[in-house]
Amino acid sequence: MNKKILETINTTKGFDQKNPNHCYDLHDHTMKVMEGVGDDDEELLLAAALHDIGKMECFTEEGGVRKFIGHAKKSAEIAEHLLRSEGYPEEQIKRICWLVAEHESDISSTKSMKKRLDAAGEEQVRKLIKLRRADIMAQAPTVQQEHLAVVAKSESTLAEILANSKSIKLTVKDLAITGRDLVLLGLRGPAIGEAQRELVEKIEGGELENSKEALLAFLENRALV
């Protein structure tokens, strides 16, 4: 983990969240969320590390209870500035900050799930669900069951949408990349059509996600073979 990011996390030590959803201070909560997502995905781990970093700047308190309205957006803003100052690639910053900004979103309905799938793709949505589950498991035990039920509904909604989408024949027009993207990769003439048909086959076969990042990465790696 980047030294500056660890220092930023340490600033949350002793911050009492004073909220019935929480039984840990902000630092301990954050560390448990990081533990919950694991360390095999750097972007997800960074999102976990920074998902609540804006809480200290946007809370209100009434009757001894703190509320953190808008903290996800604020955390994403802080995360973006920090990651950029530390030299992280812009595309990576975009993906991490999307997870941070969306980590409290209810994506259990078909409409909300499709919105996130269209915006970020299946891989990101799966990461978001994993982050949300880890976040809940680091909350007070009294609220975990209720909140985890929403996560479970989100997973079933995602599975239903993906199952339905596979029953519909995919065409070249449905690809998340355009012919111009392929030209920028150096493809010309018939090679463009061949690449598009191969992508459709890979997606329909479940071997490839229909997101711009995944499709471009596949084609770039293929070019190196």
User: What beta strand segments (E) does the chain contain?
Assistant: 60-62, 65-67
**CA atoms of 81 and 87, how far apart (whole Å):** 10
Is the confidence at residue 219, as pLDDT, over 70? Answer: yes
Q: Report helix angle 3-10 to 42-50, nearest 10.
A: 30
| Averaged pLDDT for residues 200-218 | 86
Is the confidence at residue 198, as pLDDT, over 80? Answer: yes
The pLDDT score that the predictor gives to residue 128 is 97
Is the confidence at residue 207, as pLDDT, over 70? Answer: yes
Quick one: which of 99, 104, 108 has its CA closest to 159?
108
Asked if residues 138 and 36 have their Cβ atoms less than 8 Å apart, the reply is: yes
139 sits in the region (left: phi over 0; alpha: psi -120 to 50; else beta) called beta
The pLDDT score that the predictor gives to residue 170 is 75
Same fold, 3-166 and 172-224: no
pLDDT digits (tens, 9 = 90+) for 63-114: 999 999 999 999 999 999 999 999 999 999 999 999 999 999 999 999 999 9
| Averaged pLDDT for residues 17-44 | 96
CATH number for 3-166: choose from 1.10.3470, 1.10.3210, 1.20.120, 2.40.10.
1.10.3210
- Considering the segment(s) 172-224 as one domain, its CATH architecture is Orthogonal Bundle (1.10)
Question: What is the residue whose two structure tokens read 């997502």?
Answer: 37
Given CA atoms 38, 126, 157, 198 in this order, what sign does their dihedral have?
Answer: negative
The pLDDT score that the predictor gives to residue 129 is 97
The pLDDT score that the predictor gives to residue 225 is 39
The pLDDT score that the predictor gives to residue 173 is 85
Neighbours of 193 (CB within 10 A): 13
Q: Where are the domains of the chain?
A: 3-166, 172-224
